[in-house]
Structure 1
């Protein structure tokens, strides 16, 4: 099992502020799974509008954080860094469930496992946790396309 710091993550993901949603990779095994984290700060730009009286991380951004972890796992599995002429796209999201809100100060633990890979289509099982409690789960499907 290996880890990745933010400098290594930036080599694999094209995302930058304010949409980079993976701060560190705790562990990964190429071809199998990844555990990453996102520290949720009150300084996140989405909190000013979602919601000013009770700041909650938008569910779609939790799913995006899971997808970014999946992209890192895919690129590590393929043993390649992000190529500027290639983009990983969502092609499906199934069974998304939100179990509890994610708020400022939470540490979001992102767990993604490869279920299968067929003809350039990757399918993953994904879950996000805070303090060992499930907050979001989903089945994700992604593919790479040249741009």
Structure 2
């Protein structure tokens, strides 16, 4: 893949000086513990609705022992979750959806083009194509390791009705 085909020129990313760290991400994203799949934010361009972040993939990931024994490969669903978390961060930081929480709403044209393993830095790139307040965001995404495209596609994010989810959980407890 040519450099020009990437959403963000990787030369613009300063891996040593993220513009937001895990604590900044936690202010906007609710995921914690094993479900935090975004390490830092590297770049934002609000005029183009573009954001870049990364996930440091470590030997301590919950999936390493079992996926696959002796040959740990980051599951595709976890790569997609990392992209979703980057999309959520950008959406919430700029209040594009007008929602208290953004959830995974769908996926189109996802392709896995390489492997991600412990020790890799998975660079995540998104470009919002559509943001309908109160309804949905649509983002083109790419994941890159060592300058090579490993995953790409289109992700959709939707507002999560927090009150409805809480009521549902409470009703389940009272059964």
TM-score (norm 1): 0.90
| Matched length | 143
CA distance in 2 between counterparts of 1:95 and 1:79 reads: 23
| 4+ long deviations beyond 3 Å | none
Alignment gaps of 5+ in structure 1: none
Cα distance, 1:145 vs structure 2: 2.4
Q: Which has the larger radius of gyration?
A: 2
Q: Decide which structure has greater helix share.
A: 2
Q: Decide which structure has greater strand share.
A: 1
> Over aligned residue pairs, what C-alpha RMSD do you find?
2.0
Of 22, 29, 49, the match for 1:13: 29
TM-score (norm 2): 0.76
Cα distance, 1:4 vs structure 2: 0.6
The answer to which structure, 1 or 2, has the higher relative contact order (CA under 8 A, 6+ apart) is 1
The aligned counterpart of 2:8 is none
CA distance in 2 between counterparts of 1:76 and 1:87 reads: 11
CA distance in 2 between counterparts of 1:18 and 1:30 reads: 30
Cα distance, 1:24 vs structure 2: 0.5
Cα distance, 1:98 vs structure 2: 0.3
